[in-house]
Amino acid sequence: MPPPRLRFAPSPNGLLHLGHAYSALLNASLAAAMRGTLLLRIEDIDPVRCRPALADALLADLAWLGLTFPAPVWRQSARVSTYQDALAALRARGLVYPCLCTRRAVAQAAAGARDPDGAPRYPGTCRGSAAAAAAVAAGAPHAWRLDMPAALAAVRETPGRGALRVPVFAPGGPEAGRAADPARWGDAVLGRKDVPTSYHLAVVLDDDAQGITHVVRGRDLEAATDLHVLLQALLGLATPRYHHHALIRDDTGRKMAKSLGSEPLADLRARGVTAEEIRLRLGFAPPPAGRGA
């Protein structure tokens, strides 16, 4: 068994809030309990929403919480050519296809059907479309989508490959697993119009390249894991064990989210709240003496 390696992988598209603090502290406490390593990965592939100042802010917030990470800290923006190569390999195998649809067109075509994350489910409008291929050849901007039926067939036909499973672990509990059902997603975007990758593609490539053995993240990403194990099978990548933790809620019962304006850690700090108080509020022991608060 390789030594456990975990990662905390925030996106610098807003300030960290208590939900991030919980996830980071849980990763750190599990890594310590397993005598493993916790890595930090900055998921900054979105050139519009991710800003360097926000990456600096998240580093400052994590240091304030008393968390330290081995250098170098990975930044996805430095790994775009790796993602591009993987996308090209999937293209060569006919497992992705170009898609010209706008968000509005997808919402209309979905006719109310939803992916597990609540987004309109793509019904495959451009899959196998000669018109789309011609427009792409003429230089039209396009995304790349996973051809889900072709991808599932490719995995089924791989010799020695059993059914797709998500290995699951619970802190202190027995190892377990569940069947993966990636087809509950429509054809997911693997290469966006504005950047030659997507969250789903970048995350599986990086978890593999960083040797991550245990992924600890919020339940909001639980369904995405089904897609991730499919991509790992297609690309010959390692599948870590997964633990999806409960989401932290605010006083009104709403889950914490940047988009909902949850109070940033930096504001709590400015109001005089200490890192120790944050740790205790979230159910963690105080930091080692001399660090953090």
User: Which residues bind to ligand GLU, rule: CB under 6 A?
Assistant: 9-11, 43, 203, 217, 221
CB of 46 to ligand GLU, least distance (A): 10
Q: How far is the CB of 54 from ligand GLU (least distance, A)?
A: 11
Nearer to ligand GLU, 180 or 203 (CB): 203
- Contact indicator for 35, 4 with CB cutoff of 8 Å: yes
* CB-nearer residue toward ligand GLU: 200 or 279: 200
CB of 15 to ligand GLU, least distance (A): 12
Distance (Å, whole) CA 242 – CA 100: 34
**Shortest reach from residue 221's CB to ligand GLU, in Å:** 6
Residue 9 CB, shortest distance to ligand GLU, in Å, is: 4
Nearest distance, CB of residue 228 and ligand GLU, angstroms: 8
Nearest partner of 68 among 277, 275, 280, judged by Cα:
275
CB closer to ligand GLU, 121 vs 200: 200
DSSP string, 212-279: --EEEEEGGGTTHHHHHHHHHHHHT----EEEEEPPPB-TTSPBP-GGGTPPBHHHHHHTT--HHHHH
Cα angle, residue 232 at apex, residues 160 and 79 outer, rounded to 5°: 145
- Select 121 or 243, whichever has its Cβ closest to ligand GLU: 243
Task: Pick the closer one to ligand GLU by CB: 181 or 222.
Answer: 222
Give whichever of 43 and 226 is closer to ligand GLU, judged by the CB atom.
43
